[in-house]
Amino acid sequence: MEEKYNNFLKRTVTTIIGVSLAFVTIFWIGFPFFIIITIIALLGLRELYSMAHKRGYSPSYILGSILTLYFIIITVYDICSFNYYIENIIITFFIILTFIFQLFKKDYSKVLAEISVTIFGSIYLGYFLSFILKIKDLPNGNYYLISLLIITWVNDSGAYLVGTKFGKNKIFPKISPKKTIEGSIGGTIFSIVATFALKSWLNLTFNELLFLGLIIAIIAQLGDLFESVLKRGSGIKDSGTLIPGQGGILDCLDSLIFTAPVFYYYITFLT
């Protein structure tokens, strides 16, 4: 019991620090926020590829990093209304060149899997996280983004707290033995409450707030479960050890990776 309490305390402190740092960087006028997203994406990419290494695969971190950067850069360029035609040409030729290098490998049995993991990683970390930049660029974007972070993390904390205290019925025991139906319901309630608490920032109607809290909770939990699938397939408990009480970058952001694009399209649809 004491171990669970200490772990929850670490998670809570980490979340508070994370939200506080996010608040500062998001509202810091002139701060190159995309650099933070780039660093997070590349650290997460390294963790993901480390999982693949444990199963004997060697995805190209160079190609994955460049593709990840590409997704982020074209988002920044789109926001700034720049012409990124030259960048598209460069990335296309680089991808082709990387594929050609596969001809000179000694073992061809894992080429398809390694290229697939490489490209998947850049989409998972680069493309999905680029929606954070898209959200920040919306009118009232800073408040939208910090609201998304709070709702997503409150859902995670609520699910963990309720699941630890009252959880009995497993929801996906083959994927994540500790996750329960009670925890899922608790996280959803926490998410909805947090959404209504942020009403003045979100500027949505009652029904819009209710549905937003519900959909973010569902998507966040699916994102968490998806990362659990990746970890289970790699035979590991945590993606890393960088963040106390959380694990690695992927453990901390698995829900946000899924909720960011959903939140973006939800808000743009309503506005």
% residues pLDDT > 70 (the chain): 93
List, for residues 214-241, the tens digit of each pLDDT value: 999 999 999 999 999 999 888 888 887 7
Q: What residue ranges do the domains of the chain occupy?
A: 1-29+140-271, 32-137
Tens of pLDDT, residue by residue over 44-75, are: 999 999 999 998 898 989 889 999 998 998 88
Region of poorest pLDDT, from 130-134, 142-146, 158-162, 208-212: 158-162
Choose the most confident range, by mean pLDDT, from 5-14, 75-84, 105-114, 250-259: 250-259
CA 147 centroid distance within chain = 15
Model-level pTM?
0.89
